[in-house]
Each structure stands twice: as structure tokens, then as C-alpha cells.
Amino acid sequence: MTKAKKLSLKQNYTMLTKGLDWEPSYQKKEDIFPQLSFEGIKIHNWDNWEDPFRLTIDAYWKYQGEKEKKLYAIIDAFQQNNGQFNVTDARYIQALKIFINAVVGLEYSAWRGFTRLGRELGDASPRIATQMQAIDEMRHATTQTHAISHYNRFFEGMGNAPYQYDHAWYLSIPKSFFDDACSAGPFEFIVAISFAFEYVLTNLVFMPWMSGAAYNGDMSTVSFGFSAQSDEARHMTLGLEVIKFLLEQDPDNVAIVQKWIDKWFWRAYRVLSLVATMMDYMLPKRVMSWDEAWTIYYEENGGALFADLARYGIKPPRNAEVTIKEKGRLSHEMWSIFYANRDVVGFPLWLPSQEEMAWFSEKYPDTFDKYYRPRFEYWQELEDLGTPYTNSTLPQLCQVCQWPCLFTEADDPTEFVHRETEFDGEIFHFCSDGCHQIFEDEPKKYIQAWLPVHQIYMGNCLLPDADPSSPDFNPMAEAIRYMGIKPGVDGGLFKDHSDAKNWEKWTERPANIHQGASTDFVRKTSSQNSK
Amino acid sequence: MAVEIKTAGVKPVRTAFEHLIARFGDKPATRYQEFAFDTQPKTNFHYRPLWDPDHEIYDKSKTAIVMADWYALKDPRQFYYGSYTIARAKQQDAIDQQMAFLDERGALSELPDQAKRLITFSLVALRHYEWGSNTNNNFIAAYGYGTTITQAATMAMCDRLAMAQHLSRIGLFLDDKTGVSLDEAKEFWMSHSAWQGLRRQVENMFVVSDWFELMVAQNLVADGIVCPLIFQEFDRHFRSKHGNDLSSLTNYSVRWQKDFTRWVDAVIKTAAAESAENRELIDTWVKNWHLHINSAIDGLASELLGDEATASLTTINNEFNVRLSKLGLSAI
Ligand SMILES: [Fe+2]
Ligand SMILES: [Fe+2]
Ligand SMILES: [Zn+2]
């Protein structure tokens, strides 16, 4: 009787996946994998691909199954105990609206995008790796939906997430980003998502969301985040493996990869402006400033990474220096855009309190007092007078990143950037040189963009029951309805919003910890408490 | 620090996500419903895929099947990621115990060489068929329409990889974990005449561009013929000569097939019931693929079952016809 030997995890993985795929004889390989050649990437030997995960499916199930048990135990307890009322204040809830409406859509697209790679990459090893990442991303979209579900039962602006992702103007920023990757070839997709987004920049998404949730008492989101973090660690190793593999396969790949790094770094950075805004303005208890996060996670960590990649002939991303020049301005400029356009967004807006402005002065000594404090103080006066500042015209959107063209010149914070180009007899506008350069490289792709403001002007943003011929037809109100935003419910000023009022009624605590109670009900309670 | 809340007076302002209330009525939704329904982007896509400029990123017209509501193609198991991984982990624990027990006894390695060769020839070579099925379910997950179908296909993709890995493990039982049996099995799959018919059909499936046709070809027809041939007919045949050890390993695949079939049948039955056009289309696909696959496995059946091959194929086809009629489809 033989007692068989034991294999290590790695040996076991190698054995169980050994030679699973084969050279086809009855169909041509290029017909089975039709997406592999058009991008110009040259692969000579897939055997040099080192699978970074080396997980057999059974090990994956067990590992992930345990994580899911723990995660759902916490989510269940959170729901039973009405954990939504343990967060700092009702402003924190507004950040979750960006999460459910934007981030879940990104995870969804990541799932389907990696599923395509699982099918299309030409070899078993990278296919298994991307299949596993695909189901991980499906996990993220699922667990995020489940973690936020309970909030949706108590607060506005979260109930319509898939619809808003397809229709709301500012959600076309993240959506166009992932549509761009999903409509690209498989190699561009993996460089864009696995390398530029996950390897280089993922910490900038994770750190603020998860620490932000922890600082603000949101157990549901924290547990999701920590549970997803070990998946992300795997995804980051895939990103690095991919880049090294492509660069080592053929010298001709270097220029193509460099072009993608340049493009996707800028594309991802523009999406992250949403995160910058959330970090600095929406977390009642702040973790760190955007400026600090960018310094650590991009300038320091990214700097080391690109120094390492120099041996392949890879340079740091084009326009990286612009991101550094902008870091003291980004969140303030974007929050101003949202505030001014608050009647057409899916969450209510507020001006920073004295306490918050003091923090900004400290964290942004070169910019805040000089450029933004005067603006916010003036807007505060107008609010106090009962005539709050509001923007009534629709902004010009950037043809590539789809943000309003309201960023300022890298070297002059008082001057808006405006770049434009003519293509096929039409003028296209850009928020930056970065976006302009991306357009010039693939104009036929970017002229297709579904640009919300443009679509509104063309009369394409109407629900079937809207009647443009009716005398009381209000095109703006109709466009808002089309976007899945409820006029009079979703946007506006935070202090007037039903989330703020319900919060104070339910918790007897101020909806905004920095500005005190906004309803008489809580003012009375708190003054009794302080007696 | 937990904050004390007078929760008695707090009533939720809505019961569920709005798209679920519209679909299922004003009541709390299940976790399956929360992710499976209406979550795929539907409209206002920004760019046409460079790899398929004739379609949108998600596009109903990537199959000839037409559904008024693609979310009708539900998963009767109601799996979402958490319930799926937890269920599979539990099943895997059970088979792992079984395998450890057999490993301890050195089970299959004590069989006569000719019996070992037969296992390598059949089950171990079948790992490549499972890999093919992983590829095809992966295709459905990538290009299908709606979350209900693509979510279940993503799970099927993982399941098929698991089946390929399970069969590989059976190989490692035979060769004292050297992997020699895997090499031999691959040689059978690549060159032995009895396998070439099926391998040709698998490669033909790799170039099918209609994802629903692939659902029919792989998950209904090919599995409907190949799996009973190996796990039912061959297994019975082998057991009668060499005892139960092999069956205690294949029974994992058999039970998994039952679970998988529930999903496949529910999807195909619903699509066929939608319209006469759908039903005719599915009938045609079943007929074409059955014609090729059934004749492709003739040699394989003789190799595995000898004299019993004809009778076994008749049994398999009779059972397949019963299944087709339950799905509302025409017999072949
Ligand atoms: Fe993710
Ligand atoms: Fe990820
Ligand atoms: Zn731009």
C-alpha cells in the first residue's frame, strides 16, 4: 500500500492546470482568439507568464466562502441594530450615494471586462487569472450592493443606482472611463485596469473610502472594504505581472504600453477627482487631505515604481507633473462645481464650516485662503441672506473625461483651462492637455462619447411621457427627471434636505456636526442636554 | 461607541431598491434579487467596442434569441456570490474528506494497469472537455445579456474549471502525483482517434458567435450526451469490474451535474416558451449539434463500453429525448 506524497499549493496548482488547453487542429487559433492581434502587441511565448494567483478553484471557494460568512454576519448585525444611525452625521451618508451610484457600476464593468479577457487571452494561465479576477469583481459589485442596501431604506438618492449610472451627467465621468476600457482591446484593458488603475492608483480609492468609513462609524462599508482588500492585493500583483510580461515579450511592445500608461493614468486621475472631493468635503471626520494622499500614494509610491520600470524603457506617465501642480486645487474646484450645480445632482450640497475651512487652511496653506476661502465665505453670506449662489447654465463638458471644463491652468489657478480641436468639421472641447492628447490619438473613438450636456441640448434627454409642445414644458426639469434625479428631493442645499431632517428626527443628533442642528426639534433637545 | 437610538419610531422610507419594487412589488428584496436584476448598464454607452464595432458593449442582438425581458432567464438556485462560494466550499470539503480517505488507502493506484489506463483514457482526458466547457461558459458570461444569465454563467465558468481540476486530481491518484497520467491523457485527447470527433466539436464551439447557441450546444446537447456516457454508463461498466472506488470520486461530478442542469434547463425552457421563433431556433440548434456530437462519440463509446456501447447510447438518447420534451422542445 502506498501512502501518496503531498504536493505544495504551488505544485498542486501547476499539476491541476497542467496543459489544460491545447493547440487546436480543427479550427484556426486566430479564429478562436480573434482579439489578440489588432492592438499590435506581440507575444512570443505565453509560457513566460507567471500566474500570480496560483489558486485552484477549490482553494478559492474555501478561502472566499469563509470571508463571505464573516462579512454577511457583520452586515446582518448592522441591519438588525440600525447601524446606519451610528455614523457621524447625515453628510457622511451623501458620500455613500457616490459609492452606490458610481463605484458599483465600475465594479460591474470590471467583472464583465475581466470575463472577456478570461475568454480572449490566448493561453490557459492568464485566462485562469483573469477569470478569477472576474468573479472577484462580481463579488465586489454584489457585496457593495448588499452593504448599502440598508441605507437605501432610510435615505434618498440610492434607490435608482443602475438607472442613474446610465443617465446622470456626472456619473458619465466614471461610466465613460470604464466604457473606454471595455471597448478597448484585451491588452489595453488589462494595462488600463490592472496596472494603471489597480496597481498604480488603487490605494487612492481604497484608503479614503475604507478609512473614511471606519473614522465615521460605518461598519457595513468598512467590513466590505477590508474583506475586499485581500482580493485587491491579488489584483495588484496581476497588474505588475502583466506589465512586466508585455514589456519582456517584445521591444515593440514598449511604445504601445507607454502610450496606454500615459492615457490611463490621466483618465484614472480625472475619475479620482470624485474621490478627492469626497475625501476633503464629504467626510465629517477626515482621514487625510487629497494633497497628502496624492503625495504619498502617487508621488512617493508611484515614483519608486516608475524608477523600477525605467530599465524597460518606461517613463513616468505624461502629465504626471500637472497632477502634482493641481493637487492643492482639485477638491476645492470640484466641490465648487457640485455646489453651484446642486439642483441637478443626486445628493445635497453644503458649504464648508469654519472648522473645516480652518483645516483646509492648514492642509492647503498655498491655495485655500488665497483662492477658495473668499469664494466660500461670499457664498455663505448669500446663503445667509436667503439668496444662495447657483449656476443656471449648463457647463461645457470635456469630450474625453466628461468633467465640466472648469479646471484651472497648471501654472495659473485663476485661469480656466480651455483646449479645443476641430475634427470632421466639428469643434471639440477639453478640460486639459491630458484629455486633448488622448482625443488626438483616437478621435474616432471619442467623437462617439455620450456627452450629457450635449445630449440635453439636442433634446435627447426626455422620458417618454415628456411633452415638449406643452406650454408649461420645462426642459431643465425634464432633463433632471431623465437622469433619474428627483427634482426637489435629491439635490439642493443639505440643510433643507429630507435626509438631514429625518436624521435629526430619528437620531436627535445634528445632521451636520459642524454647524449644529438644522431643525428646531434637535436644537431644543441639544440645549436641554447642555443645561 | 454605539449610539442609543429610539428605533421604535423609525420607519424605513422604502422597502427596497426602486427597480426591484417595480419588478417584484413593494416588499423587501432577497440578496439574490438585489444583485441579479436590472443591474447591467442598458443604454447611453459611450463607445463601440474596437473588437466588435457592430454591437454595443452589452447588446441584445448578440444572439438570435429574442426576449421581451432578459431577466426572465433566472437561476432557480438563486445563487449570489456569497451563497455560491459558501455552498461550493461545503461540497468541496465533503469530497476532500472522501479523497483524503482514498488517498490514505492508496486506492486507485492499486488497480490493474489496464484499469488505470482506462481511467486515464476516459476521465483524465475528459479534463480537456471540461476546459472547453469553461471556455464556452466564459463566453456566455462575457457576451450574454443581463445579470441573471451572466452571473450564473460566471459561476458555471468556475465550476467547469473545478471539474477539470477534479478530474486532474483523479489522474494524480493513478500516477502517485507525478503528473504522468495527465500527459498520457492529453496525448489521448490530442491524437487518439476515439477522442477526435468530440475534440473537433469542442473546437467548433469555440468559434460560435451566438452565445445562446453556445448555451444550447455546450450545456444542453454536449453535456447531455457526454456526461451520461462517462459518469453513468462508463462508471457503471467500470464498477462492475473494478469496484466502487472510482464511483466515490465521480459521484462529485454527478451531483454537480444535477445542480448545473437545474440552471441550464430553467434558462432554455424559459427562452423556448417565450415565442415560437425562439423554440424553432433552439430546436434547430439542438438538432444540428446533436447530429454532430452524437456521431462524434461513437468511437469513444465503443472504446469505453465495448459490446454495451450501442445499448448505452440508446439509453442516453432516450433520456435526452425525455429531457427535451420536458423543456418544450422537439425530440431528435
Ligand atoms: Fe473590485
Ligand atoms: Fe479589483
Ligand atoms: Zn477632460
Contacts of B207 in chain A (CB under 8 A): 27, 31-32
d(CA B252, CA B247): 9
H or E segment and range at residue A413:
strand A412-416
Q: What are the structural domains of chain B?
A: 78-326 (1.10.620.20)
Task: Decide if pLDDT at A3 tops 60.
Answer: no
d(CA A154, CA A246): 48
What residue segments make up the domains of chain A, in order of their start? 58-482, 497-529
Task: Decide if pLDDT at A2 tops 50.
Answer: no
Residue B267 main-chain phi, psi, to 5 deg: -65, -50
The dihedral of CA B200, B203, B208, B213: what is its sign? positive
Which of A1-15, A278-292, B110-124 is least confident? A1-15
Residue of chain A whose alpha carbon sits nearest to that of B36: A142
pLDDT in tens, A447-492: 999 999 999 999 999 999 999 999 999 888 899 999 999 988 999 9
Q: Please give the distance, rounded to the nearest whole angstrom, from the Cα atom of residue A406 to the centre of ligand 3.
A: 10
pLDDT in tens, B242-299: 999 999 999 999 999 999 999 999 999 999 999 999 999 999 999 999 999 999 999 9
Q: What pLDDT is attached to residue A519?
A: 75
Q: Residue B4 — very low, low, confident or very high, per pLDDT cuts 50/70/90?
A: low
Residue of B17, B80, B159 to mutate when probing chain A, most A C-beta within 10 A: B17
Q: What pLDDT is attached to residue A526?
A: 53
Residue B73 main-chain phi, psi, to 5 deg: -85, 70
Q: What pLDDT is attached to residue A523?
A: 66
ipTM of the complex: 0.97
Q: Residue B191 — very low, low, confident or very high, per pLDDT cuts 50/70/90?
A: very high
Q: Which ligand has its closest atom nearest to the C-alpha of A402?
A: 3
Cβ atoms of A112 and B59 within 8 Å: the answer is no
CATH number for the domain whose boundaries are A58-482: 1.10.620.20
Q: In the structure grid, which three cell numbers stand for residue A33, read together? A: 482568439
| Cβ-defined contact of A35 to B51 (cutoff 8 Å) | yes
Q: Which ligand has its closest atom nearest to the C-alpha of A236?
A: 2
Task: Decide if pLDDT at A307 tops 90.
Answer: yes
Residue B181 CB-half CA count within 13 A = 29
Nearest to B34 among A120, A149, A507 (CB): A149
Q: What pLDDT is attached to residue A392?
A: 79
Q: Strand pairing partners for A416? A: A408
Close Cβ partners of B82 (under 8 Å, ≥ 6 residues apart): A68, A71, A72, A139, A142, A143, A146, B31
d(CA B129, CA A531): 77
Residue of chain B whose alpha carbon sits nearest to that of A57: B162
d(CA A433, CA A140): 34
Which of A510-524, B65-79, B248-262 is least confident? A510-524
| Cβ-defined contact of A506 to B10 (cutoff 8 Å) | yes
Q: What pLDDT is attached to residue B1?
A: 39
Cβ atoms of A198 and A233 within 8 Å: the answer is no
Residue of chain A whose alpha carbon sits nearest to that of B86: A65
Task: Decide if pLDDT at A49 tops 80.
Answer: yes
Mean pLDDT for A98-124 is 96
Q: What pLDDT is attached to residue A206?
A: 81
Task: Decide if pLDDT at A530 tops 60.
Answer: no
Q: Does A146 touch chain B (CB under 8 A)?
A: yes
Q: Residue A531 — very low, low, confident or very high, per pLDDT cuts 50/70/90?
A: very low
